[in-house]
Amino acid sequence: MEDIAILGVGMHPWGKWGRNFVEYGTVAARKALDDAQLEWSEIGFISGAITVRCGYPGYVAGSTMARALGFNGTQVASSYAACASGATALSVARGQILSGACDVALVVGADTTPDGFLAPNDGIRTDDTDWLRFHMVGATNPVYFGLHARRRMEMYGATQEDFALVKVKNSKHAVFNENARFNKEYALEDISASPVVSDPLRLLEICTTSDGGAAVVVSSLDYAKSLGVDNPVRISAIALNTPTYPDPLIDLPYLATDSSANTVPNEIGFKESIGEHVYEEAGIGPEDVDVAEVYDLASSMELDWYEQLGFCQLGEAESLLRDGSTSIGGRIPVNPSGGLGAFGEAVPAQAIAQVCELNWQLAQQAGKRQVKDARIGITANQGLFGHGSSVLLRR
Amino acid sequence: MTKDTKIEVPAVEGFFTIEEETHLIGGRFKKSGSYCFPKSLGGSDPDFPEDEIEEVLLSRVGKIWSYTNSAYPPPPPFIAAEPYVPIVIAAVELEEEKMVIIGQVVNGYSVEDLSVGMPVEVKVGTLYEDSEYRYLTWMWKPLFEEQKQDKN
């Protein structure tokens, strides 16, 4: 598939601002348009990532943002894929561009989140596993993170200190990110002093819920050239994977895994398949990647991604972390933005924010958190109910 | 004891039997032979289109695949006891069904009492109660009490 160009990116800083999500989306969109040196009236298609926590305007995020920017007849769509919504919205925009339906598109996601645990919307729904896992078990999102972290300790000898060191590393990166919610550099002692949320994971290792917004302006390579942009950061591949039956790993929001009683699980697991998809589509391998932004809902999950994206073999993630390979300055820096640990979840904006960060990295505009000579970057993200996503960027 | 005066009912019908030898109620796909839990909410094997699900009782005993807890009370629709006692949760692998099912661990156990591979059986336990009813859910109970002793 042909590449598309990134013409501009923008974010509204993450925080707990308590304002209308539309405001964050509009700020991010205007910054992305300014970065692209384009007017809103020049955008052929707006692709919104849906939030389910802000009422009807959230369900129709694309048109909500279009109205805030000023209805002008532009084509619109809105996408939902839980935490992967932003990648889905980007993929919809890419489809419009590569089919020739439009030359240039605006992708935007924003959220206003409640405090505390993310929880299902009100009501009684005994046929909804997301409702059932809370009601019948009390299985919050961190419970699933804790189950996998404990399993990682059992399988590979990971320690609580390894998980804490992920947070230490990412907090160092976040010091230089004005869009991150938390800019404080944490030491190991800070993390071990924070309370356990879901054993073995502590409060500082589990991402919080935040308000924020992110936007990207993308176009065909020809359109970019017509603007005089000859060497843009390009999107070379997007994955929007579902799992393959039977998936043997317990994952939210389910009460049980599939059964492998009569069918052998795929050799390549669900999360591994996400990276495989973009590597194949872009015609590269994990050894070619210079920088990654991965979905660290908990610090332990970042270690899983090192292996799932092929940066090291199973069981080697802790060494990769400890030898500094995944810090800025190392062989394959991961989460130079500070990751979700420094941002918190603003669900529909998160996958777009990952693309913003890699755009800055590949355009050599990342300031003090710049990964030297970064040319190829990968994002990884997962939304509940079977939404795996990844975006591969290069320059 | 108040325990005798309250009526025990499942918090949601159709997930487990209430008897001394409690079973989880699952589904078995007639053609593929694979299982699911809950019985009506399982994913399908794409190689067996239009497979039918029959209701089956799942194995009572399994081994802990992993475990954790929730130090803070989960939000609604969970109904947390007051004062809240941290719930412990285990993901348990059933050998015959080759699947992992999550559930709370019965009262009285903490994460320190558990280990990966520990055998457990399914029980019913109180999820919450009001003046008339005790609402039940399935819970995992470590099978060998001596293992708890060893850990102490």
Task: Indicate whether A45 belongs to any domain.
Answer: yes
Contacts of B103 in chain A (CB under 8 A): 137
Contacts of B104 in chain A (CB under 8 A): 137-138
Facing residue for A143 by CB, picked from B11, B34, B70: B70
Facing residue for B98 by CB, picked from A135, A199, A259: A259
B34–A139 CB contact, under 8 Å: no
Facing residue for B45 by CB, picked from A129, A151, A263: A263
Residue A325 pLDDT > 70 = yes
- Strand pairing partners for B67? B90
Written as one string, the DSSP assignment of A343-393 is: H-B-HHHHHHHHHHHHHHHHTT--GGGPPTT--EEEEEEEETTTEEEEEEE
A143–B34 CB contact, under 8 Å: no
Side-chain-side CA neighbours of residue A88 (13 Å): 23
Domain spans of chain B, in order of start = 60-151
- Nearest-CA distance A96 → chain B (Å): 30
pLDDT for residue B151: 45
Task: Indicate whether A63 belongs to any domain.
Answer: yes
The mean pLDDT of A225-238, rounded to a whole number, is 98
CB contact at 8 A, A29 and A106: yes
Task: State pLDDT tens for residues A343-391.
Answer: 999 999 999 999 999 999 999 999 999 999 999 999 999 999 999 999 9
User: Range of A79's domain?
Assistant: 4-114+209-226
Query: The pTM is what?
Result: 0.96
Task: Indicate whether A376 belongs to any domain.
Answer: no
Residue A220 pLDDT > 70 = yes
When the pLDDT of each residue in chain A is averaged and rounded to a whole number, the result is 97
d(CA A96, CA A102): 6
ipTM of the complex: 0.95
The mean pLDDT of A84-88, rounded to a whole number, is 98
Q: What are phi and psi of A322, to 5 degrees?
A: -70, -30
Measured CA angle at A347 (ends A341, A348), to 5 deg? 135
- Nearest-CA distance A366 → chain B (Å): 38
Facing residue for B34 by CB, picked from A200, A247, A262: A262
Residue B145 pLDDT > 80 = no
What sign does the dihedral A25-A359-A78-A16 (CA atoms) show? negative
d(CA B135, CA B128): 5
A147–B91 CB contact, under 8 Å: yes
d(CA A190, CA A324): 20
Task: State pLDDT tens for residues B8-21.
Answer: 999 999 999 998 89
pLDDT for residue A331: 97
Count of structural domains, chain A: 1
d(CA A206, CA A197): 8
Give percent above pLDDT 70 in chain A. 100
| CATH number of the domain that residue A40 is part of | 3.40.47.10
